[in-house]
Structure 1
């Protein structure tokens, strides 16, 4: 009786085969995702290892003098032997970069919001922001040192200025370029300006904001280091100057490695936050 109610060609066996096929497809999908994840992890490691091997080969083949370009092994030795000095100088640089990152991006977000709601403010002050951004960092640094003294303040200010402009541009665009249909629907539903801002404009701006934050994460470290070149006795920038004047090439390279590693870790943290907070945007990002 129950057998006769089934459609032609559909049997309990065929149902079992369909379930088996679904499980097989799911297993293949999971396996492919794992391979892709491992590929993303391994390829940068392989690329870095290849570049280090090439660096060592060039130094050995052309017999490059150590004070010009040390071998990777000499740099690794300094990283181990002078780890305490390198880490002690990383702390002020990291502090300046983080505080500058927070300050520059916060100010940029506030001004971008003002630009979106006031066209006159954007027309008046955006050209000023462009002009400030065109001034080279090495020219801004001495001015800020004269204005703010020789402490951490000018380094934080330089890092903030470097972070400011990319976030201002991206955040302004993200807040403004909302879907017109979604905006009209919010108005039809009698949403308040505050609800439109938080539920539509801010949500739309987050991918733009994180794109700017990833740029700012690296640039803030550069700003802090450049600031330390102008009259500082501690930090990665000061250690670079000291190693350069002493022709201590292994220490110079080791210092650069430490600064670059911190910048890469900072960038990775922002990328991780982006993946966790913007899961709804993952498909479009990929």
Structure 2
């Protein structure tokens, strides 16, 4: 095979560089497209909403215009953030407690089949009860303080994590287990270096769900009995027919839930770089 001349080699190198630059430009364009399309859709929806309120002359207490909601957000931002703080504390505390309990119970299920056979049906049965049904019971048992709201937030995000974590801990193949035994790994090494690592993609999938449901649980708890918080503010705005404040409160609560979800997603990318590399 004849050797390439320096001119031919430079042309190949230049073509490779152009191809790489083209791929990079296409990737940047796709990334911007993913960001701009949802933004454009939201702007279009808000414009249609504003026009609909103006054209059909909808009364403000029924459906306020986006501009009225924006003015309420600006004028009452301090009050909204002040009510967001207790809801955020309740949601984060419930998230931590509920998911920690689910991880511990899932670990018990993996190593104790008898415990799973006895307790998993109870967890399923409890999960089928609507949150609005057991929330008043928890308020009666724990009072109108922080404890009841945290308990509701913890319970509402407990079951998805339990199911996903149990499945993740058992996702280890028999070949992997045999290799660990050949290497004389201890039970703790098998758990932390094999089972736990294999379960992380399942766990983070559940945690992203729980990041939103824990906020819902905290708000539902505040509906039952509270004087502050996003849920209490929603009830007050509804009774006062203050629709702009109602919508602004919903926006603030949704923004916090989205931010919580984004934090969990960032943690997933940080801790699961190896998994991202495999699935890319």
TM-score tier by shorter-chain length is: over 0.9
Map of 2:64 onto structure 1: 70
Map of 1:162 onto structure 2: 156
For the pair 1:58 / 2:52, whether they are aligned, the reply is: yes
Matching residue within 236, 254, 277 for 2:271: 277
For the pair 1:226 / 2:245, whether they are aligned, the reply is: no
1:92 Cα deviation (Å)?
0.3
Map of 1:235 onto structure 2: 229
More moved, 194-203 vs 234-243? 194-203
Residues 113-140 of structure 1, C-alpha deviation per residue, up to 9 Å, x if partnerless? 0001111111100011111111111111
Map of 1:42 onto structure 2: 36
Distance 2:59 2:277 in 1: 50
Matches within 5 A, 1:1-286: 7-8=1-2, 10-283=4-277
Distance 2:5 2:218 in 1: 71
3-state SS in 2 of match to 1:69: coil
Distance 1:278 1:125 in 2: 31
Residues 220-256 of structure 1, C-alpha deviation per residue, up to 9 Å, x if partnerless? 0000000001110000000000000000011000000
3-state SS in 1 of match to 2:2: coil
Instruction: Note the residue ranges of structure 2 that are not aligned, 5 or more in a row.
Output: none
Distance 1:269 1:259 in 2: 16
More moved, 72-81 vs 271-280? 271-280
3-state SS in 2 of match to 1:200: helix
Residues 1:127 and 1:155: Cα distance change in structure 2 (over 3 Å): same
3-state SS in 2 of match to 1:177: coil
1:190 Cα deviation (Å)?
1.4
1:19 Cα deviation (Å)?
1.8
Instruction: Note the residue ranges of structure 1 that are not aligned, 5 or more in a row.
Output: 1-6
Name the count of aligned residue pairs: 280
Distance 1:46 1:214 in 2: 25
With structure 2 as the length reference, what TM-score do the two structures score?
0.96
Residues 27-58 of structure 1, C-alpha deviation per residue, up to 9 Å, x if partnerless? 22222222222222222211221221222122
* Displaced runs of 4 or more, over 2 A: 283-286
3-state SS in 2 of match to 1:105: helix
RMSD: 1.3
Distance 2:181 2:42 in 1: 52
